[in-house]
Amino acid sequence: MSYLEIDPPSRVLMGPGPSIVPPRVYRALMMPTVGHMDPTYFKTMDAVQGMLREVFITKNELTLLISGTGMSGMETALANLLECGEELIVCNGGVFSGRMPEIGRRCGATVREVKIPWGRAAQIEEIEKALKEKPAKVVALVHGETSTGVMQGNLAVIAKLCHAHGALLLVDTVASLGGTDFQTDAWDIDVVYSGSQKCLGVPPGVAPITFGKRAEEAIAKRKSKVQSWYFDMTLVRDYWNEKRVYHHTGPVNMTNAMHEGLRLIVEEGLSARVARHAKMARAFHAGAEAMGMKLFVQNPAERCPTLTTVLVPDGADDVLTRKTLLEQHNLEIGGGLGDLKGKAWRVGLMGEGARPNNVLLFLSAIAGILKKQGCKIDSGAGIDAAGAVINS
Amino acid sequence: MSYLEIDPPSRVLMGPGPSIVPPRVYRALMMPTVGHMDPTYFKTMDAVQGMLREVFITKNELTLLISGTGMSGMETALANLLECGEELIVCNGGVFSGRMPEIGRRCGATVREVKIPWGRAAQIEEIEKALKEKPAKVVALVHGETSTGVMQGNLAVIAKLCHAHGALLLVDTVASLGGTDFQTDAWDIDVVYSGSQKCLGVPPGVAPITFGKRAEEAIAKRKSKVQSWYFDMTLVRDYWNEKRVYHHTGPVNMTNAMHEGLRLIVEEGLSARVARHAKMARAFHAGAEAMGMKLFVQNPAERCPTLTTVLVPDGADDVLTRKTLLEQHNLEIGGGLGDLKGKAWRVGLMGEGARPNNVLLFLSAIAGILKKQGCKIDSGAGIDAAGAVINS
């Protein structure tokens, strides 16, 4: 059998990630591979750590890349903090927070869930109730829930609450870091991880993570070893720090790509980047609503700017719409996950995707497709509303 | 703080991996990122699976890429096969086989070790003795031990022995697959994994793995879930097969790079490629010995062609020699690991590295460095001996 060279299309990536990769990141990705113990690679690793600290807004020493995708960040965070029989509280309101109890249980933890209705953020009182009921070692939640489009606010208050009850706060920022305001140190979050392929604008394959002092102490006090050798931070750390103890072969080219993705963020300035994502989300939400579409997340304050769940309008064909967007416009959005399967679309405005042209392209492309399906769509109102925000 | 663009040197990578990446692989690596659920990406995944089967020489359905480096392949293999309290026998004769007991214990297994003197292969009688002493669920060994340069032979015989005792055979081919003869089905090996960055000639970051029928049945019969969610083959499998159930975001660009690396192997032909590696190893060994250097592995039949351990000659400075090779010749080799630290060099002839020019470059470069340090080196004899094999 013969295999042809790949020739992937240039997609307009507006799904839940991966997002559009900037040319400079591709260029870094294809720079020559050097050894994982090469002095020049160590310099790249140091710079990546420095820039990750800027993006996480933290001074945490234990800040590095996990050699796996975003989900490996979730597993690393939970597996390092939890030992057999320890208590984990998960604020579960979507597919991704819904994976935390499963992974926690596989780490041997006893898991309790604060169930959040899909489309809503967790209420502080509910977390407090769970903590008062019984102490927990870790409280875990997702900042930007990619399945529902909800962003959890009040993280500083939740962190304070957790610490008052002796618990660590673990936060998933896979869909939000680099695209929304997130302040690890100021909000006093103990463990935060993300993924390379969303608002950081790098292909999928590495997961940034940071551990604060409390979390480091918790790891130091473990009675048993971390069940995963590959994700054991006590081992991975000594490859990233000045000891340079070989643990596994670092994903050199992906690390180089992350280096360039982070450089782009530092150049743009984190606050300008966050403002850009917020503005593009406002333009998109205004345009979609003016056009006659409905957003799944009711409370505007709880909407994650980087990922919007749009309800599939009455009379529209979910699969056909996405297929037409992909085939006719080379434009990818995500289908609904879990309870939202067939009921919502997931539209990402992440990294390079969060640009005016993408907002307008999506709105104008889907308007035509939905009109053809007989849906009532006011394309002019939508484009005008989005344009007004873009040009504000 | 400002961060400069990376500008990595073009190293001649002759260490234990990563190896030299061919231009076509870089080109595939920087092709546009598409979504992990894009129909064009599914085609790439299918082709990667097809070519992996050709390289593993297997019909195993469960053949795919793990989204992590070679060590994640080791963890995946052990974690999926072993449950708490089950027996694992490890043939331990180097740093990498020496990691298997540790990872096995973290999976809850009871581990027994067949200790192999460094520089030797495991004896079948010893494995038989261990199996007769007490049955085991899994016997694990390393095919090409990157720390010692030993290649384990007689794998078909060992597999037969394991199966006669009801054990599964798990083999690490991180340093050997694509560079030496390895036949998963003909030798009846149950689980085999490798890494992208050695004889497969792709940057580090993904780990090919294959599970045979017996191993699949063992996974199906597990009483407990695999402790790692990220590496759980029952979940990863359904993303790679026709079900296409989303599990984690596949490392799209690294998968594309692997696709091209595998295409290069299929084009060259696996047996021609294996013969090339064998010939380059013969040329290198002949040259090094004629020059007056000594190889660590005494028995030529037990030498792994892709990775050679050369003893640091009397009077030579290990670190200075490697530093000079890197700085003056842009040439990377590996230092000794574990017991061989400071005592041996690890020279890889892997993938694109296994070419006549690299053999001659290394021999002539190190000859000058060692002569300057006062070592007795016959460069002419070395170059002649290597040349004779190259031109044979």
Region B47-75 average pLDDT: 98
The pLDDT of residue A216 is above 90: yes
* Same domain flag for B164 and B249: yes
Q: A72 phi and psi, to 5 degrees? A: -70, -25
B115 lies in a domain?
yes
Tell me what the pLDDT averaged over chain A comes to: 98
* Domain C-terminal end among B237, B267, B297: B267
Taking residue B4's Cβ as centre, other Cβ atoms within 10 Å add up to 9
Peptide bond into A18 cis (omega under 30): yes
A2 lies in a domain?
no
**Given this model, what pLDDT does residue A1 score?**
65
B300 lies in a domain?
yes
Q: How far is CA B105 from CA B220, B221, B227, in A?
A: 21, 20, 12
Beta carbons of A113 and A92 less than 8 angstroms apart: yes
Task: Give residue B79's domain range.
Answer: 22-267
Region A150-162 average pLDDT: 98
* Same domain flag for B27 and B130: yes
Record the pTM. Answer: 0.98
A371 confidence band (pLDDT: 50, 70, 90): very high
H/E stretch holding A299 reads none
* Same domain flag for B31 and B135: yes
* Same domain flag for B176 and B82: yes
B331-376 pLDDT, tens digit each: 999 999 999 999 999 999 999 999 999 999 999 999 999 999 999 9
Which residues in chain B have their CB less than 8 angstroms from residue A39's CB? 326
* Same domain flag for B228 and B280: no
**Given this model, what pLDDT does residue B1 score?**
65
Could you tell me the CATH number of the domain that includes residue A357? 3.90.1150.10
Q: Which residue has the tokens 């041997």?
A: A108
- Window B:117-156, CB contacts with A under 8 Å: none
Q: Could A67 and B7 be called an inter-chain contact, meaning their C-beta atoms sit closer than 8 Å?
A: no
Region B65-71 average pLDDT: 98
* Same domain flag for B318 and B241: no
* Same domain flag for A386 and A275: yes
A14 confidence band (pLDDT: 50, 70, 90): very high
B379 lies in a domain?
yes
Q: Domains in chain A: how many in total?
A: 2
ipTM, two decimals: 0.97
- Reduced to 3 states, what is the DSSP secondary structure of residue A92? strand
Helix orientation angle between B124-133 and B155-164, rounded to the nearest 10 degrees? 10
**Given this model, what pLDDT does residue B55 score?**
98
A235 at B interface, C-beta within 8 A: no
The pLDDT of residue A70 is above 90: yes
A6 lies in a domain?
no
The token pair that represents B47 in the structure block: 């082709």
**Given this model, what pLDDT does residue A185 score?**
98
**Given this model, what pLDDT does residue A2 score?**
82
Region A166-173 average pLDDT: 98
Region A182-192 average pLDDT: 98
B118-129 pLDDT, tens digit each: 999 999 999 999
* Same domain flag for B203 and B302: no
* Domain C-terminal end among A222, A240, A267: A267
* Same domain flag for A237 and A207: yes
Region A207-231 average pLDDT: 98
Tell me what the pLDDT averaged over chain B comes to: 98
Q: Could A26 and B30 be called an inter-chain contact, meaning their C-beta atoms sit closer than 8 Å?
A: yes
**Given this model, what pLDDT does residue B2 score?**
82
* Same domain flag for A362 and A258: no
Strand intervals (E) in A159-219? 168-172, 191-193, 207-211
* Same domain flag for B162 and B129: yes
Inter-chain CB pairs, A–B, below 8 Å? 238
A284 lies in a domain?
yes
Beta carbons of A11 and A362 less than 8 angstroms apart: no
* Same domain flag for B311 and B262: no
* Domain C-terminal end among B233, B267, B301: B267
The pLDDT of residue B187 is above 70: yes
A143 lies in a domain?
yes
Could you tell me the CATH number of the domain that includes residue A100? 3.40.640.10
B23 at A interface, C-beta within 8 A: no
Nearest to A249 among B18, B26, B50 (CB): B18
B225 lies in a domain?
yes
